């Protein structure tokens, strides 16, 4: 698996960062651990204990934190569909290390640091994507929950953003239009 192009320096600037999208390439465990350390320093004063991070092949919800094992599990299935959410999921599960419930304090924190609000709740793979992007070169479709700004097709681009293979919005669900 290759690294994503979200540079650690830009970790809180996702919206403005050029994204290179590829369906099959999720961050490595080392990437996730590095981001864990960065988020820990930035948002938790470095107070979170070290936990294990691993991908789960079976999990249908986006992620989970297992306190008995001190382990964050990130759903591989879910993030193969929605790779742009993987770091939001990581942040969500990090909050669970200190806050087990999705209570008001959890939600406040989640909003502040850009974590997903309901990673454990949404029936991940049953939730329809709000946006469908397409590459007009190879016609691969990319379903996404979030709007993409600068993204190019992972199959056609050679490891970095390529204007020629820019993903184009093909369909947007009504729900998204309201937001």
Instruction: Pick the piece of the chain touching Zn ion (CB under 5 A) from 4-12, 53-61, 81-89, 154-162.
Output: 154-162
- CB 10 → Zn ion: shortest distance, Å? 25
Continuous segment of H or E residues that includes residue 20: strand 19-20
For Zn ion, the closer CB: 155 or 172: 155
CA dihedral over 169, 35, 77, 96, signed as positive or negative:
negative
139 phi/psi in degrees, rounded to 5: 65, 25
What token pair was written down for 140? 């691969």
**Residue 148 binding Zn ion, by CB under 5 A:** no
* Residue closest to 5 by CA, chosen among 130, 170, 150: 150
Asked if 17 and 84 touch (Cβ cutoff 8 Å), the reply is no
Interaction of residue 138 with Zn ion, rule CB under 5 A: yes
115 touches Zn ion by CB under 5 A:
no
**Residue 120 binding Zn ion, by CB under 5 A:** yes
Q: Which residue has the tokens 């993903």?
A: 167
Shortest Å, Cβ 135 to Zn ion? 3
Q: Is position 170 an interface residue for Zn ion (rule: CB under 5 A)?
A: no
Span near Zn ion by CB under 5 A; candidates 32-40, 69-77, 83-91, 150-158:
150-158
Q: Is 113 in the site for Zn ion (CB under 5 A)?
A: no
- Residue 111's contacts (CB-CB under 8 Å, 6 or more residues apart) are 117
Q: With binding defined as CB under 5 A, does residue 94 bind Zn ion?
A: no
Closer residue to Zn ion in complex, CB, 26/119: 119
Near Zn ion by CB under 5 A: residue from 109, 115, 135, 167: 135
- C-alpha distances out from residue 174 to 61, 132, 167, 171, 178, Å: 24, 12, 20, 10, 7
Residues in the site for Zn ion, rule: CB under 5 A? 119-120, 135, 137-138, 153, 155-156
């Amino acid at each position: 698996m290759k690294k994503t192009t979200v540079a650690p320096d830009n970790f809180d600037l996702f919206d403005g960062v050029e994204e290179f999208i590829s369906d099959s390439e999720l961050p490595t465990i080392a990437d996730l651990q590095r981001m864990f350390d960065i988020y820990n320093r930035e948002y938790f004063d470095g107070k979170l204990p070290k936990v294990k991070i691993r991908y789960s092949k079976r999990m249908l919800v986006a992620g989970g934190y297992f306190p008995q094992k001190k382990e964050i599990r990130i759903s591989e299935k879910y993030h193969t569909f929605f790779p742009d959410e993987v770091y939001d999921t990581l942040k969500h599960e990090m909050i669970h290390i200190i806050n087990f419930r999705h209570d008001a304090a959890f939600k406040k924190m989640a909003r502040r640091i850009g974590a997903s609000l309901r990673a454990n709740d949404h029936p991940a793979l049953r939730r329809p994507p709000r946006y469908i992007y397409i590459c007009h070169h190879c016609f691969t479709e990319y379903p996404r929950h979030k709007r993409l700004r600068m993204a190019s097709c992972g199959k056609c681009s050679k490891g970095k953003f390529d204007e020629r293979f820019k993903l184009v919005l093909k369909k947007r669900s009504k729900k998204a239009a309201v937001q």
